[in-house]
Amino acid sequence: MEEMPNPKGGITYWWTCKFPFKDASAKRYVGGIGIDITDWKQAEAALQESEEKYRNLVELAPEPIVVHRRGDVVYANPSCVAFFGAEKREDLVGKPVLQFVHPDDHEVFRKRNREMTEKGTTVPLRSERFVNLDGQVVDVEVVATPIMYENLPSVMVLFRDITERKRAEEAFQRYAKNLGLLHRDLEISNREANLYLDILTHDIGNTENVSNLYADLLIESLDGEAAGYAKKLQRSVQKSIEILGTVSTIRRIHRTKTELKPTDLDAAVRGVMSDYPTSIFLYNGANYQVQADDLLPVVFDNLIGNAIKFGGADVEIAIRIEEDDGFVRVSVEDTGPGIPDDDK
């Protein structure tokens, strides 16, 4: 091979072959053949540069990389040497690659190798277990691909330690399982508590109704101060009935999954007003669609019912609806004297 400067200031590489020969008069000459191999030399240099960069990249990679051929390790980068607890590369090179794979994963390892050999394609990422030099089992994620190493078909394996991630996943699964058991126990306890409260409120309600009937009989049969005490007793019983009703409503709120939906506010107000046909209402109506649940009429009924109950037959109830910064304010006011001190 010869190198010759070219007019462009570069170097042209020639492959040459020289040979002696004679002409018809037996005069001696020297002949030669030259082939321009500049492109080939440039490609060879680029390939060497690329291989050098690739070797440096593999050597400096933070993830472990190992190359094996015909079942034996032929290369391990520094990260791989450290992963397996070796002191130097030679502690791994030459050893059977299966020595570093958990026995339960040997068959899968062989199957993936056969797949790469037959198809010449990369096998996908999967979880396996490797064993380092001191016998410790480590969970890893592995991907492998066929390569040419030292001009011979080989397999390059890239992997990463996922032990901490596996521990975190297992801890999360245990937590989720325990949380599910706790949720189940809470549901059972809640059902039992609700059953007990249902029975209790039903029995209390029956007792209060009977007490209210007896109070009616006392009021009819007594006169004067004694009748007044009987009326107070009846009001207390009725108040207890109302409280029990409020408790039932609150329990229904907590037991029922509230779902907000578009609600015609005017229709909700007028629906409650229609339950009190003899009462006097001051209400001009309002055209508002609001997000509310099915308990909205219960709230209005409580406000209007209390106004009528404590305001008397001639009480006037004013209902005003005003919009305020994206919200709707509903006010219920009455002209009654308020709740008597004896009923507070």
Residue range 173-226, pLDDT digits in tens: 999 999 999 989 988 888 888 788 788 877 888 888 888 888 888 888 888 888
User: In this structure, is residue 52 part of a structural domain?
Assistant: no
Residues 198 and 250 in one domain: yes
Residues 263 and 318 in one domain: yes
Residues 93 and 146 in one domain: yes
Q: What is the mean pLDDT of residues 38-46?
A: 70
Residues 168 and 238 in one domain: yes
pLDDT at 309 > cutoff 90: no
Q: What is the mean pLDDT of residues 287-316?
A: 87
Number of domains the chain is built from: 4
Mean pLDDT over the full length of the chain: 86
Q: Which of 49, 54, 109, 58 is nearest to 79 (CA)?
A: 58
pLDDT tier, 344 (very low <50, low <70, confident <90, very high otherwise): low
Among the candidates 236, 256, 276, a domain finishes at 256
Of 34-38, 126-130, 148-152, least confident by mean pLDDT is 34-38
pLDDT tier, 47 (very low <50, low <70, confident <90, very high otherwise): low
Among the candidates 213, 235, 256, a domain finishes at 256
User: In this structure, is residue 54 part of a structural domain?
Assistant: no
pLDDT at 71 > cutoff 70: yes
15 vs 178, which has greater pLDDT? 178
Amino acid at 87: E
pLDDT tier, 51 (very low <50, low <70, confident <90, very high otherwise): low
pLDDT tier, 45 (very low <50, low <70, confident <90, very high otherwise): low
pLDDT at 143 > cutoff 90: yes
Q: What is the mean pLDDT of residues 28-33?
A: 82
Which residues lie across from 96 on neighbouring strands? 72
Beta-carbon count within 10 A of 183 CB? 10
Amino acid at 273: M
Structure tokens at 240: 């207890």
Residues 16 and 78 in one domain: no
Q: What is the mean pLDDT of residues 27-39?
A: 80
Residues 217 and 197 in one domain: yes
pLDDT tier, 18 (very low <50, low <70, confident <90, very high otherwise): confident
Residue with structure tokens 């009480």?
315
131 neighbors 137 (Cβ within 8 angstroms): yes
CB-hemisphere CA count at 13 Å for 105? 21
Residues 243 and 264 in one domain: no
238 vs 137, which has greater pLDDT? 137
DSSP 272: H
**SS3 (DSSP) at 304:** helix
Residue 65, domain CATH: 3.30.450.20
Among the candidates 142, 161, 180, a domain finishes at 161
Domain assignment of residue 284, given as a range: 257-344
Angle at 205 between CA 212 and CA 294, to 5 degrees: 120
Amino acid at 265: L
